[in-house]
Chain A
Amino acid sequence: MREYKLVVLGSGGVGKSALTVQFVQGIFVEKYDPTIEDSYRKQVEVDGQQCMLEILDTAGTEQFTAMRDLYMKNGQGFLLVYSITAQSTFNDLQDLREQILRVKDTDEVPMILVGNKCDLEDERVVGKDQGAHLARSFNCEMCGFLETSAKVKLNVQEIFFDLVRMINKKNPETCKKSKKGSKCVLV
């Protein structure tokens, strides 16, 4: 089974953790334990293929800025999350992307731009077109865009699946079964 290392990035308070928890845990939230080995691993079927997703969520440690490079180095695909209710979180993504490209040393890094909290339409300050525009300006091929709501469970699964598809598109050859997925790290 192919393994995918997906990294969730974005400023504090954009609801990253809610997306991750929603995705890995689904409805069984009561038994959630964040400290165990496979808290953030999930096996899913994408387009008829079994995949093991390992999700790295930086929630709570956004201010340890020195550690970002490492997350980026290890990730194969990225969810860049902002909140549609906070302009600054949207603005932060440009730098984040630059940093990813620099660490990966390539322009082709699979990413999904994620406008979270879209259930809060009343408080919206970042337009949907703004998000779409930014994603296009990044790189049409390698950057998708979706608005999500962890609260009302909208598009949560989709962002992770789209990212997997994007990684597949970039690296179509199925990696030979290696113990660690890290063998397929994109350079």
Chain B
Amino acid sequence: MELNRQESQDDVTRFWREEREEGAIYSAYLKKVTYHTLSENENKGKNEFSHLMWETQKFRVIKAGTLEKLVEYLYIKGEMDSTYTNVFLATYRTFSSTEEVMDLLIDRYINIKANKESKNELQDIQLRTIKSVFSVWIDSYPEDFRDPPNYVCLRKLEALARQHIPESDLAIRVKHRIDRFRKEDLKSDSNIEFHFNLVEEVDHLIVADYHKPLTFCDIPNQTVAEQLTYRDAELFKRVVPHQCLGAVWARRARKQGQGGTVAGSVLATIEQFNRVSLRVIATILKNTDLKTSHRVKVLQKWIEIAQEMRHLKNFSSLKAIISGLQANSVYRLRKTWGALPKESVAVFDELSQIFSNENNQLASRNLLMKEATAKFPDVDSSNKTLRRRNQIKRQSWIDNGVVQGTVPYLGTFLTDLTMIDTALPDTTDGFINFDKRRKEFEVLAQIKLLQSASQIYTFREDSQFWSWFDAVRVYDENESYDLSCIIERGAESSTKLKKKTSVGIVQRPSRTDTNRFSLFMCGGVSFDDKSSVASSSNLDSPVSPNTGMSHSSSTSSLQSYDSDNSTPFKSSDACVIKVSLEVGTTPQSHVYKSIMLHNTDHTHTVIRRILDKYDIKGKEKDYCLLQVLQDGELLMPDKANVFYAMNNNGDYNFVLRTKKEQEALTQSRKRNRRRLKLSLS
């Protein structure tokens, strides 16, 4: 009689007990399996029940074990634990290394083969399984094997395949992999890559110099949305899921700035997220003397773009824009928000509801699960006009056969993985806790699923957009708050606080955009000086009565723009320096220009370049250039080669003064010193 095993609702799997063996702990389950006879089923017999058979099967999955046991389980596990190999390969880096696992597997393979009895089916299966693990591993995680120059693991595998598995193509595939890595690794020597980047950036600069740069309001909303989505999808596709694991991601913090080697792919995504938010803030706060009606237009435009993001299912930039709009410096502009059309307010409210933190981000989690693999979003609205508009849009998607990809907001996964890593122990009873890895894999699998959804977009890069994007001058936390207060003065309580803003500046340079090139760019492309002068001491607020703070309530000085905590850009023959100008009555201001400095540039050439950039008609020899250091200033001698003369520790911040002023400054300093000496003696 033919039997057909069917999963039906009657089939229940229940945890039975824990089973211990040497080196491992298993969870044993009982599963009720129901059988139907095929023919009866097809005839849909009326006495179905009389033919129904069932049995209880026991199966078990590994819960914890030694590394040896976990590796062994890769090829002796039953069918019931079908995801084991995937879980293992996705998470083994948290408890072992590629080489260690590889050695164990190779060892086992040779061992089984050596002791093999002819026609032992079980051993045949095991050998086949190990072989398939190798294949899956190399195909799914090629980066594990990229260890130039010797590619030890791949070499070992190649040797194994040559000697023991001549019948398969494994040896050839491994060889190909090595050759490919070698080529790629030669090319992508990090230095060279850096130069490529530089060339690209300089190209941008040149383009921007010759073509009138775009202004935000000229760029169609759809272009902004599509371009940001293009970039987000590219970055998200490149996220290496296991870099998100709590144990890996938690180690990132200290390693920043060194290329982000620990979790670079994750950091890149976050950087882009922050860059978008900063640009939302910057475009709204720029031009402090803009009329409210104009500022409202910018605000409204970003809300419209956010809505486009929603339609594109790009939850990353959607959240970035919403976060930018909810940043205090923007959100507090009551007059501006008050002038926003009702409909825009409704859209904004609905979009920001998506990312509510209530109930552990329930709203965004549900939405993502619902839409991750859907063809297009299911946008609903409680507002009548909006709902009608959404319905029209939806119909047009159906009519045109539009299929959208998805980009998630990565932060939720990062938090979940951090929490799992914190909550569950790495070991139980001295064994590696594999149940923890299974739990982590649930999240990694979601990320992988979404990565495949992000492949669906078909946008192309528009370099003109990105040269606008990169050229936007962004503000750090304190700068944007200061600008915000100039635009709309706060209530009394906030003026009191205002003074404290500078505390932060003095105490510690703030972090903002780690993209050094955005700073580099702002010198090259026109940006409205008037708008960025805002900051420093021109807040006419009363001195804070809070004496605890007053010692540092001085103006935001030069220090505030050595803010970038990434190392300043410098190659062996060129670098970018930041130069501010101190002429006459405009003392230390926030404005600086970025100047390209080559290793052949002498002081006068550099000064000429600075004067040109600031559009000052003067003679080089009337000015002097000083590097701003933590403990003072370093005067560049007239004939110095600035590139080599300057101090290499810290950021490359310079100030340009007339020689007259410099002399006066030196004199007064000397006098002070003398006075100090006198008072001391």
Contact = CB atoms under 8 A, between A and B. Distances in A.
A58 B508 contact: no
Interface string A54-74: 101111111111110111111
Contacts of B328: 69, 72-73, 99, 102-103
A43 interface: no
A68 to B, nearest CB: 9
A69 B281 CA distance: 13
A67 B364 CA distance: 15
B548 interface: yes
Contacts of A180: 358
28 contacts: A12-B253, A20-B419, A29-B424, A30-B424, A32-B424, A34-B420, A35-B416, A38-B359, A59-B418, A59-B419, A60-B250, A62-B253, A64-B270, A64-B273, A65-B512, A66-B278, A66-B281, A66-B327, A70-B326, A70-B357, A72-B328, A98-B500, A99-B504, A103-B328, A105-B332, A105-B490, A105-B494, A107-B497
Interface string B415-440: 11111111111000000000000000
A169 B365 CA distance: 35
Nearest to A63: B270
A40 B500 CA distance: 33
Given A12-B252, A64-B270, A99 B477 contact: yes
Contact of A91 (B323, B324, B508): B508
Given A34-B416, A61-B415, A95-B504, A105 B497 contact: yes
Given A69-B327, A94-B507, A102 B419 contact: no
A66 B273 contact: yes
A155 interface: no
Given A60-B246, A65-B512, 4 more contacts: A21-B419, A39-B419, A60-B418, A94-B508
A64 to B, nearest CB: 5
> Chain B contact residues: over half helix, strand or loop, or mixed?
helix
Nearest to A137: B548
Interface in B267-300: 267, 270, 273-274, 277-278, 281
A49 interface: no
A38 B362 CA distance: 9
A20, A60, A106: which has the most chain B beta carbons within 10 Å? A60
B592 interface: no
Nearest to A19: B422
A57 B246 CA distance: 15
Interface of A: 11-13, 17-18, 20-21, 25, 29-30, 32, 34-41, 54, 56-67, 69-74, 91-92, 94-95, 98-99, 101-103, 105-107, 137, 180
Nearest to B251: A13
Given A17-B419, A18-B422, A66-B274, A11 B323 contact: no
B16 interface: no
A58 B357 CA distance: 11
A60 B270 contact: no
A32 B420 contact: yes
A60 B414 contact: yes
A21, A29, A41: which has the most chain B beta carbons within 10 Å? A21
Given A67-B323, A95-B508, A21 B422 contact: yes
Contacts of A18: 422
Interface residues of B, number: 60
A66 B323 contact: yes
A36 B477 CA distance: 33
B504 to A, nearest CB: 5
Contacts of A105: 332, 490-491, 493-494, 497
A123 B167 CA distance: 57
Given A66-B274, A69-B328, A95-B508, A34 B419 contact: yes
Contacts of A32: 419-420, 423-424
A11 B323 CA distance: 19
B360 A37 contact: yes
Given A34-B416, A105-B493, A66 B324 contact: yes
Contact of B411 (A39, A61, A101): A61
A37 B253 contact: no
A63, A72, A137, A180: which has the most chain B beta carbons within 10 Å? A63
A103 B327 CA distance: 9
Contacts of B421: 17
B411 A60 contact: yes
Contact of A102 (B249, B501, B508, B511): B501
A105 B481 CA distance: 12
* 5 tightest Cβ-Cβ pairs between the two chains A and B: A66-B277, A60-B418, A34-B419, A60-B414, A32-B423
Contacts of B423: 21, 25, 29, 32, 34
Contacts of B278: 66
B503 interface: yes
A120 to B, nearest CB: 16
Contact of B510 (A21, A91, A95, A106): A95
B320 interface: yes
Contacts of B141: none
B481 A69 contact: no
A118 B496 CA distance: 36
Contact of A11 (B253, B417, B504): B253
B422 A102 contact: no
A64 B420 CA distance: 20
Contacts of B249: 60
Nearest to A55: B360
Contacts of B319: 67
B331 interface: yes
Contacts of B331: 69, 73
Nearest to B250: A13
B419 A69 contact: no
B497 A74 contact: no
A102 B319 CA distance: 22
Contacts of A29: 423-425
A50 B324 CA distance: 37
Nearest to A18: B422
Contacts of A11: 253
B564 to A, nearest CB: 13
Contacts of B504: 94-95, 98-99
B407 to A, nearest CB: 15
Interface string B235-262: 0000000000010011011100000000
B417, B443, B496, B504: which has the most chain A beta carbons within 10 Å? B504
Nearest to B332: A105
B508 A17 contact: no
B274, B357, B511: which has the most chain A beta carbons within 10 Å? B357
Contacts of A101: 497, 500
A170 B254 CA distance: 38
A35 B446 CA distance: 12
A32 B510 CA distance: 36
A57 B497 contact: no
A63 B267 contact: yes
A58 B424 contact: no
Contact of B323 (A17, A56, A57, A70): A70
Contacts of A70: 323, 326, 357
